[in-house]
Chain A
Amino acid sequence: MLFDILIIFFLLSGTFFVLSGALGVVRFKNVYLRLHAATKSSTLGVAGLMLGAFLFMLTEHGIISGKLLLGILFVLITAPVSAHMIGRAAYKSDVPLSKEAVRDDYKKTFNK
């Protein structure tokens, strides 16, 4: 019973964060802001979903699923790296910051 509640909690919050991340990708204005939504909340969402699935497998079938734990680990490691690469590539190909941008320190040192 307790585990059921825990599993439901993890699955629901995971789904919520993934959904919010997707909404953020649609709503935000440019690449850089979208990356914020795509990396943070969906990473946590996927981790929550996998944790829920792990607990379910453990309590219902008695399987310790190492794959799910490894999945969490790799999502945690790779999401920020890919965001870094996409952001840098966007800047290098002259994607402008949004109109409200107040500061750009990178421009001073940036040379093609």
Chain B
Amino acid sequence: MPFQIVLNIIIAIMWMFLSESYSFTTFVVGYILGIFLLFVMRRFINEPFYLHKVWKVLLLVLLFLRELIVSSIDVVKFVYKKDLDNRPGIFALPLEVEGNWEITILANLISLTPGTLSLAVSDDQQTLYIHAMDIPDIETSINEIKETFEKAIMEVTR
């Protein structure tokens, strides 16, 4: 992937030299041309086309934003509730993702999901401890974390 990006930038700079105009617009045009060239020549590079991964990153960012909006509305509902009768607690979530990067992204995502806040990672990086605002209705978000987030993260990093 880094190789393809470097190649793409080189193509863009070559385009700037060829058209003898050294502005940002020309660079962007050259870059788009480079994407097209790399797409056409993708058979000769023995790794997947890199825009595929960029697309996955974009999907992850969109997921991040959606969760942020949903959870904010959730918290606001709690704030204006008449009596705060929620039952908080800490639960342990066994992790499937590995490595510092993946765990960091997952912990950040979890902090932004409705009603959950990542609190700590165990020393062996196997479990994530999550503080939940209301334990009884947390089961659905555990499923969502498992099904949606971990998969989306692993698609980006692996």
Contact = CB atoms under 8 A, between A and B. Distances in A.
B78 A105 contact: no
Interface string A101-112: 111111101000
The 4 closest A-B pairs by CB, nearest first: A103-B89, A80-B111, A105-B92, A44-B72
A106 B92 CA distance: 7
Nearest to B113: A40
A35 B117 CA distance: 8
Contacts of B84: 27-29
Most chain B CB inside 10 Å of its own CB: which residue of A36, A84, A102, A106: A36
Interface of B: 64, 68-69, 71-72, 74-76, 78-80, 84-92, 107-108, 111-112, 115, 117-120, 122, 127, 129, 131, 133, 135
> Per DSSP, are chain B's interface residues mostly helix, strand or loop, or mixed?
mixed
B116 to A, nearest CB: 9
A98 B132 CA distance: 12
Contacts of A39: 111-112, 117
Interface residues of A, number: 42
Contacts of A16: 76
Given A28-B84, A29-B84, A43-B112, A37 B75 contact: yes
Nearest to A32: B131
5 contacts: A24-B78, A32-B88, A32-B119, A76-B68, A87-B131
Contacts of A23: 79-80
Most chain B CB inside 10 Å of its own CB: which residue of A17, A41, A97: A41
A51 to B, nearest CB: 11
Given A36-B75, A104-B89, A84 B68 contact: no
A47 B91 CA distance: 30
A37 B111 CA distance: 11
Contact of B135 (A41, A76, A103): A103
